[in-house]
Structure 1
C-alpha cells in the first residue's frame, strides 16, 4: 500500500488493500499501474489481462510427470523453480485434475530408487541430521506462520533435492531422502497455503505426493492428499475435497489408530461441508473409536504429532459447525481451546475465531466479539492469511449494528491486523 500511496500521491489507507484481498474489490486503474510498475509487469499486460489476471505468476502447475524416480526429481525441480515466484492467490489446478492425480497415486507401484551418480556416496549421518531438523521446522512454521517460514522450507527442500540428484545412495538411503523431500514439500505447501498462495501450495503438494510415492510411503502420500482436500474445502470444492479425502483413507495402507483418525476426520469434514449428516456422523464415530485405540507405544509417523486430543475436538467441532449444530460446535471448540498448548498460536487463533462464529450463530454476540478480539494478537504473533480472512468472515456474521462501540473497536483492530 505504501508503494501505491507514493506513486499516486495518496494517503496509505491500508483498508483499501484489505478490501482488495478479502472483499473482492478491484483497485482503480492508477493503483494497479503503480503496483505493476513496482512488480515489473508491463502495462500492456495489466490492460490485456485485467485484475487479478496480471499478477505475477509462476506458470502452470505441471502434474504430467511419470511416476518414477526421474519423474519425481523433475517434479521437484519444477516446483523449486516456480513456487517461490508464484504470488498468485488462486488455485490453478481444478478439482478434477487433482482427483485424477490422486487416482494415479492410488494405482501406481513404486520402483527401486538406488542411485549411482557422479556425486559422492551420501553419508547416512547427513541424512539423520536433515531428518532431525524436521521437528524444529514444524515448530517454526506453526509458531511463525506460513509467510515467514516459507523461504526457509523452500531452501531446505532445495538442499535435499540437490542431494537426490547429485549423490549416490542405496535404495534405503534414497527412500529416506525422498521421504524427507515429501515432508518438506508438505510443510512448504502448507506454509504457502497459510500465506494465501494457493497455486504455490499446489506445486509443493503435487511434487511431494510423487516423492512420497517414490519412497513407498503410502501414509505420507495420504497426508499430502489430506492437505489438498483441505484446500478444496476452503475453496468450496466440496465434492473434490471428499474425493481426495476418501482416496487418502483408502490408499493410506496399514496405519496407526492416530493416523487413521486424522484421515477419517478430514473425510468427515468434507461430508459435513456437503451437508451429508449421516455419513459425517458415521465417520466421526469411526474416528472416535480409532482415537480410543491410541497407545503411547504406537509408532506414529512424526508428522502426526500435531494431531492430539485438542485437534481431535477442534476438527469434530468444525464438522458440527458446518452441519449447523452451533451448540455442539461450541462444546467441542471450548474443549479444544482448553487442551491446546500456548505454543500452537496459529491453531489457537484459528479455533478461537471458529468458536466466535459458533457463538454468533447462537446469538451470543458479546462473547463472539470478545473471542475475536482475543484472536487478533495471536494472528499478529503468527501471521496467517487464512486466519485474517476467517476473522473478517466472523466479523461479517455478527448480528450487531456497525455503530455499536464494541463493533467499532473490533473493526479498528481488524483494520490494523490487515495492515
Structure 2
C-alpha cells in the first residue's frame, strides 16, 4: 500500500518538529512541567536525543511531563507502551478514542500550517488508514458529554456566529473561495480551541464537534486541491474524530469517502476500496450511499474489476433516486445526476467502454450547474480523455484548453494537473487543429 510521505522518524522527534521545538526547547518545557509540581527534572538535550535516537525509554513520570510539554492530553500516557502512545506513531494516524478529537485537530492544524519549505516528518500508511476505518466501522465509542471545566463558557451566540460565517465562506463560488483559505483555517483553529478549553453543555459540544468536522473537511479539500496531501489527510482524519464524537455515521463516512478519493487519486486503489467498503457499512442516507458507491465504482474500474464496478454503478444509480424522510447531509448536497453520469462515464472509460462512456460524460457535462466551476473543469478533462480515446484530437484539445483556462482563472491546480496528465497523449496529434495551441498554453 502507498506511503504518503517517505520520511520515517521517532514519534517524539515528529512532534517536536510539528511544534518547531529544538531538543533544548523540549527539555526546558519538561523542566517547567516538573517545576509546576515542585520537582526538578534532569532532562537536557542529550537525554532527549537518547530517547529519539538510542531507543531509551523515559521514566513514567517524565512521560507525563513530555505530554504536557507537547500539549497532549495526559490521559494518552501509557508508560509501558512508549513511544506508541504518542499520536501519529501508528502510521501517522491518531487512533479513535474518548480523548482523541482535540489531539487529532491540533495535529492536523500543525501539519496544515507548516511552511511549504519545511520537511514533514510523517508517514500516513494505507494500512493505518484502513485500521482507522475499521475501528470507526465497528461503532461504539463514548457518548459526548458536557465539558464542565474550562476557561470560559461557550454560548449559543458564539457557536451560531461561527456556523453562519463558515456556511457563508464555504458557499462562495470556487473563484472567490480561493481568497478565504486563511479565514477558514482561523475558524477551524478557533473551534478546536473552544472544544479544548471552553466550558459548554452537551448540546453545544455536539454543535462544536459537528462544525469542526465540517471545517476540517473544507480545509482538507483546499489543501488537497493544491497538492498538500499530508495536510489534507490529517485534516480528514481530524474530521473523522470530530464526527465520531457526534455519533453521526454519515458525517464520519464523508471523511472516509474523501480519504478514499485521495487514495485513488494517488493510485492506491487497494486502500481506496477498503476505506469505501468500511464507510458503506454505516452510511445511512441514500445520497451519501450513492456517492460512496460511485467512488467505489471508479476505483474498482481503475483496477479493471468490471463486474464489481458495474454493480457499484448500479447501486449508486439506485441510491441516488431513493426517497427518504431524513434531511440531506450538507457534505453531499451537491451530488446530482450530472455527477452520476460523468463519473459513471469515467468508470466505463477505464473499462474500455469508450462510446457509452463518452455519451455519459457529455450528458453529465450538459447537466452540471454553472455555479460548479471546479467540477466543470474536472469534467472537461474527462471529456478530453474520452475524445482522445475516440481519436478525436480537435475536440479533445478544445475541451482540455477550456479546462486549463478555467482552472487558472478560479485557482484550481488539481484540475490543471489533470490536463497536464493528458498532454503526452496529444503529442501524436500536434498538427491537428487546437493541439499546438493547447501545448503552448500549458507551457506558458
Report the TM-score, using the length of structure 2 for normalisation. 0.74
Cα offset, 1:364, TM superposition: 0.8
Rg larger for: 2
Of the structure 1 ranges 337-346 and 130-139, higher mean CA displacement relative to structure 2 is found in 130-139
Q: Which runs of 4+ in 1 moved over 6 A?
A: 59-62, 88-91
Is 1:178 equivalent to 2:209 in the alignment?
A: yes
Cα offset, 1:412, TM superposition: 1.7
Given the superposition, is the C-alpha separation of residues 260 and 376 from structure 1 closer, same or farther in structure 2, using an over 3 Å criterion? same
Given the superposition, is the C-alpha separation of residues 403 and 338 from structure 1 closer, same or farther in structure 2, using an over 3 Å criterion? closer
Of the structure 1 ranges 391-400 and 176-185, higher mean CA displacement relative to structure 2 is found in 391-400
Query: Quick check: 1:86–1:197 contact (8 Å CA) kept in 2?
Result: no
Aligned residues: 354
1:45-99 per-position Cα deviation (integer Å, ceiling 9, x unaligned):
xxxxxxxxxxxxxx98975545334221011112212212163799941211211
Give the 3-state SS of the residue equivalent to 1:397 in structure 2. helix
Q: How does 1:159-198 map to 2 (within 5 A)?
A: 159-198=190-229
Of the structure 1 ranges 136-145 and 114-123, higher mean CA displacement relative to structure 2 is found in 136-145
* More contact order relative to length (CA 8 Å, sep ≥ 6): 1
Given the superposition, is the C-alpha separation of residues 133 and 91 from structure 1 closer, same or farther in structure 2, using an over 3 Å criterion? same
The equivalent residue for 2:156 is 124
The equivalent residue for 1:268 is 297
Give ranges in structure 2 of 5+ residues lacking alignment: 1-87
Give the whole-Å Cα distance in 2 for the aligned partners of 1:402 and 1:92: 41
Picking from 425, 428, 431, the partner of 1:397 is 425
Given the superposition, is the C-alpha separation of residues 316 and 145 from structure 1 closer, same or farther in structure 2, using an over 3 Å criterion? farther
Query: Quick check: 2:93–2:128 contact (8 Å CA) kept in 1?
Result: no
Given the superposition, is the C-alpha separation of residues 168 and 98 from structure 1 closer, same or farther in structure 2, using an over 3 Å criterion? same
Give the whole-Å Cα distance in 1 for the aligned partners of 2:291 and 2:135: 23
Cα offset, 1:389, TM superposition: 1.2
The equivalent residue for 1:292 is 321
Query: Quick check: 1:91–1:198 contact (8 Å CA) kept in 2?
Result: no
Given the superposition, is the C-alpha separation of residues 298 and 215 from structure 1 closer, same or farther in structure 2, using an over 3 Å criterion? closer
Is 1:137 equivalent to 2:169 in the alignment?
A: yes
Query: Quick check: 1:61–1:199 contact (8 Å CA) kept in 2?
Result: no
The equivalent residue for 1:378 is 406
Cα offset, 1:151, TM superposition: 2.6
The equivalent residue for 2:245 is 214
The equivalent residue for 1:150 is 181
1:111-158 per-position Cα deviation (integer Å, ceiling 9, x unaligned):
223101233322123222322234323333734466x55333211100
Give the whole-Å Cα distance in 2 for the aligned partners of 1:234 and 1:240: 11
Give the whole-Å Cα distance in 2 for the aligned partners of 1:163 and 1:89: 27
1:228-256 per-position Cα deviation (integer Å, ceiling 9, x unaligned):
1111111111111100111111122xx22
The equivalent residue for 2:41 is none
Give ranges in structure 1 of 5+ residues lacking alignment: 1-58
